[in-house]
Every structure is written in structure tokens, then in C-alpha cells.
Amino acid sequence: MSLRSAVLVAGFVLAALNLRPAIAGVSPLLDEIMGDVGLSPAGGGAITTVMVVCLGVFGSVAPVLARRIGLDRTLLAGLLVIACGVTLRGLDGAPMLYLGSALAATAIAVMNVSMPGVVKQHFPTRINVMTGVYVSAVVAGAAIASAAVIPVERLTGFSWRGVTALLAVPALLGALLWLPQALRAQPPQPSGPRPFRTVLRSRVTWYVTALMGLQSLTFYVVLAWLPTIFMERGVPAEQAGYLLSLTNLVQVAASLAVPVLAGRRASQVPYVVASGVLTVLGYLGVLLAPTTLPWLWMIVLGLGQGASFALALLIIALRPADPAAVTALSAVAQSVGYVIAALGPLLFGYLRELSGGWNVPLTVALGVLAVQIVVGWFAGRPATLGPGRP
């Protein structure tokens, strides 16, 4: 591998690693943040809510930026804005906390949408491999941030403000490594109809969007409520946290391996269906026997959810004919998808409150997964969006 290629891959991986720490790093510090800033539990929860909403609302900005300044410069701008956002939210006062969080999440939304197009542009013959690399880096970034913020706080003696500001360091390092790509002449944008028009008219777009949204919904439900479910079934709090970490770690392996295998085939249907079935089995384990081999259910759940996320992004990169169309499809699928996902934890908690237990919410989640498998079957079939489509 040449030096230029090595810098390209390193910058790409580091950019992917920055797509979740600004969000995942909040939860372990939330009690300290609430006490310091004077927030109620609702106000503390609103930090993550604001960020997830921004992921859905502002992803549509990415195709506009990519068309004007190019995908590489859009990605560079996103890394710089993440650094600004996490630094800003460490300043004094609740307004700065929310504003900085929203700014970082907006940059992440733009980068989320841009990354499949970057894969198509820079690695057109290795889409499956590089999608696996980038998705596993995203998942690993979340796992590292949630696990490391408290030890870093103790090691450095910083408050939560200093620790959250340290998240600017990997973003700035990623920007430095990506700078050579941004300084090069950008590929010309395709002429003809804007990709959004083609993408919005295709049924494939809405199958992919539904797959992205539903798998994200069940993922954020697990992220928000899984430890609570285990603790209410008698599992100690520390063990409940370890179980959530286990399922997240398994997702890293699944998201790295599955795109490599699925990308070699014209149809991803078998993989999409299998990942949905694994997720169903994981949810069934939590519903029917949460204290019997809970580690097994977490492994099965992690395999299913990691593979589902990776397959959704792989399909986004594979279906369109060019990077501009990939970015347009990614914008639609991820913007709508994250809005759907933001409703999941809220709906799950509401059902828990109405029913007085977890059986009804978990049963509803199984129904959502059944729909995910059906739309995934349609999304996974061979198709081409954009110029030269059948």
C-alpha cells in the first residue's frame, strides 16, 4: 500500500470513529452533568433527544454541501464542526450545553449521510470491505467512548467539561489526516436531473429507508432500556451494564464481517433475513428467559443488530449508480430513519408505563422486527438507482 493510500484509509477510519463518541460519551457522565448544570431528569434526557433529532433533521444538508464543495470537503467540515460542538458544550450554562450538543450532532448527521458516498467514490471496487471497516469503526467508537469517559475523568482529574472537550482531539486528528483528500481537486458532479428526484421516485428508496429506520428503532430501544429491563428482572446493576457492553462488542465483529460476505452477492436478502431473525431471537430471550443465559441472548442480539446496521448501510452504498445518488439515498434513508428511531425509546417507555411491565413493549418490538424482515427482503433484492438503471 502506498503512503497516499495509507493516509486515505487512516483518515477514513478515524472519521468513522468520530461518528458516535459525542453522543455515547454523554450517558456515563449524565448524573454529573445534571448536578453541575442544574438540570432535571427530563432536562438531562433532552441532551440525547436533541442529538438524535438533529441526526434525523439535518442529514438532508449533506447532498447540498456535497454538490457545492464535494464529499471530501464536506467530511472535513463535519470533523471540524464536531470539534467545535464538543468544546462549546463544555462551556458554562445549559444553553451552551444544548447548543454544543446540537452542533456536534448536526455535523455527525452530515457525515453519516456522506460516508456511503465517500465509500463509493474512493473505494468503488471494495465497497463491501470498506463498508464493513467503516461500520465496525462507528460501533467501536461508541463502545470506546462509553467505556472510557469515566476512567479518563479519574485519570486526568478533569470535570465532565474537560472530558467532553477532549473528544475534540480525535476529531481534529481525523481532520488533519483527511486534509490531503480535501485539498485535492474534487470529482466533477454528474450533470442531468438532481439525484434526489430519481431517488425519491424509486420504491427501492422507501424499502431501504424503512429498513434503516426500523433497525435503528430497535437498536436505540436496547441502548436506552436494556439495563433497566435486566435490573427489574433481578439482575444486578453492574452485571446489567456488562451485558449491554457485551452486545455492543459483538456488534463490532458482526458489522465488520457481514458486509464483506454480503457484498459479494447480487442479492443481500439471505443476510438481511438472517440478521432480522437473530435479532428476534435475542429479543425473545430477553422477554421469556432474561436471567437464563443472558450472555447468550446478548451475543445473539449483538450479531443480529450489528449485521442489520451494516447491511442497511451496505445496501445504501450498493444500489445507486454513482456517489451523488448514494449521498441522496443516504440522506433520505438516514434522515427519515433517525426520526423513526427517536420515537422508539419514547414509545417503549410509554408502553412500559401503561402496561406496568416489559412484556407488552417487548412484544411490540417483536412486531416491529417482523416488519423489518419483510421490508428488508424487498430492500435486499438486486436493483440499481440512478443512470443506467433497468
Confidence class of residue 1 from pLDDT cuts 50, 70 and 90? low
> For position 193, what pLDDT does the model report?
47
Greatest C-alpha distance within the chain: 61
pLDDT-derived band at 349, boundaries 50, 70, 90: confident
DSSP 77: H
- Reported as a single tens digit per residue, the pLDDT across 133-164 is 988 898 888 888 877 888 888 899 888 899 98
Average of per-residue pLDDT across 170-197:
79
Q: What phi and psi values does residue 385 have, to the nearest 5 degrees? A: -105, 145
Distance in angstroms (rounded) separating the CA atoms of residues 85 and 188 = 31
User: DSSP secondary-structure letter at 89?
Assistant: T
| Of 44-48, 82-86, 129-133, 186-190, the least confident | 186-190
CA dihedral 93, 98, 100, 101 (to 10 degrees): 140
**Amino acid, single-letter form, for residue 165:** A
List of long-range contacts for 32-36, beta carbons under 8 Å, 24+ apart: 32/159, 32/160, 33/97, 33/160, 36/159, 36/160, 36/161
| Helix (H/G/I), strand (E/B), else coil: 200 | helix
- Locate 271 and state its grid cell: 443476510
CA distance 298 to 223: 12
Q: Could you give the residue ranges of the DSSP H alpha helices within the chain?
A: 3-17, 21-24, 30-37, 41-57, 61-69, 71-88, 94-122, 127-156, 160-166, 168-183, 195-200, 203-232, 237-262, 269-288, 294-318, 323-355, 359-379
Query: One-letter amino acid identity for 29?
Result: L
Q: Please enumerate, as own/partner, the contacts of 68-73 that have beta carbons within 8 Å and a separation of 24 or more.
A: 69/186, 70/182, 70/186, 70/187, 71/114, 71/117, 71/118, 71/121, 71/186, 71/323, 71/327, 72/118, 72/178, 72/181, 72/182, 72/184, 72/186, 73/182, 73/186
CA distances from 38 to 30, 49, 158, 253, 273 (A): 11, 18, 19, 39, 46
Per-residue confidence (pLDDT) for residue 344, from 0 to 100: 83
pLDDT confidence band for 388 (50 / 70 / 90): very low
Mean pLDDT of the chain: 87
Using only the alpha carbons of the chain, give its radius of gyration.
20
Residue 263: pLDDT above 80? yes
**What pLDDT is recorded for position 285?**
95
**What local confidence, expressed as pLDDT, does residue 312 receive?**
94
Counting residues of the chain whose pLDDT is more than 90, the rounded percentage is: 43
**For residue 214, what is its C-alpha cell?**
426500523
pTM above 0.75, yes or no: yes
Helix H, strand E, coil C: the string for 139-180 is HHHHHHHHHHHHHHHHHHCCCHHHHHHHCHHHHHHHHHHHHH
